[in-house]
Amino acid sequence: MKDIVFQKKALLKNQIIKDWREAELKKLDVKFVQSQTNFLFIYLGASKNKVFKALNDKNILFSTWPKEKGGWIRVTIGKGSEMKFFIEILKQSIN
């Protein structure tokens, strides 16, 4: 890509959202695997069924690991508003 300015802006915007998302997960004491990619894995443990239902009810797409891996989900970065919505649903579901 030749548009270096756009690339830098997009990378910075994604990093800001990723940093915010990770800070919110830490506040909630939710385990996750840090990643340099556009997604991360979040461990839901005993809350998994409640969270899965809440996410499905709000039409939020996510991927799960096979049953033997437990309550992990894969969450891809979205727009800031989408990530805020995701975190709000997560807060409501784990408390």
Rounded to whole angstroms, how far apart are CA atoms 63 and 75?
Answer: 7
- Residue among 68, 76, 17 nearest 41 (CA): 76
- Residue among 10, 8, 33 nearest 21 (CA): 33
The string of pLDDT tens digits covering residues 6-50 is: 999 988 998 899 899 999 999 999 999 988 888 888 998 888 889
Rounded to whole angstroms, how far apart are CA atoms 92 and 95?
Answer: 6
Q: How far apart are the first and last CA of the chain?
A: 44
The string of pLDDT tens digits covering residues 58-81 is: 988 888 766 656 788 888 888 889
